[in-house]
Amino acid sequence: MYAVIRSGGKQYRVAEGDVVRVEILPGKVGGKVTFKEVLALGGDGEMKLGNPTLAKAKVAGTIVEQAKADKVRVFKFKKNSQYKILRGHRQRLTAVKVTEISAQ
């Protein structure tokens, strides 16, 4: 069985046992997290779609890691004017291991 969830404005396809890296969520390593925005459930040749979400479905998981992604460098440049700006950004992420997918 798999589910399509929404977290941080993005959609993820997850199954039980998967580790998914989503945008930062509050909580400590080992803590529980629940995703209530389940957009679709599938498996065994059957598919349930929400409009926009499934009302009673939820996906539960545990926090495995709080980390940062690789650095993204942004370089702004204008020729003939000595304008050069170099910026960096590291997005904060939470790794979640999916433990349960529930349709009720």
Residue-wise pLDDT tens digits, 44-88: 888 899 999 999 999 999 999 999 999 999 999 999 999 999 999
Query: Residue 83 domain-assigned?
Result: no
Query: Residue 41 domain-assigned?
Result: yes
Instruction: Please give the pLDDT value at position 44.
Output: 83
Query: Residue 12 domain-assigned?
Result: yes
* Burial of 38: CB neighbours in 10 Å, binned 0-12, 13-18, 19+: buried
Total tally of structural domains belonging to the chain: 1
Q: Are strands 72-78 and 83-89 parallel, antiparallel or unpaired?
A: antiparallel
Global pTM? 0.83
Query: Residue 74 domain-assigned?
Result: no
Query: Residue 55 domain-assigned?
Result: yes
| Bigger pLDDT: 24 vs 45 | 24
* Furthest C-alpha separation in the chain: 63
Structural domain span for residue 49: 2-66+93-102
Query: Residue 76 domain-assigned?
Result: no
Instruction: Please give the pLDDT value at position 12.
Output: 96
Q: Are 65 and 92 in contact (CB under 8 A)?
A: no
Query: Residue 24 domain-assigned?
Result: yes
Query: Residue 48 domain-assigned?
Result: yes
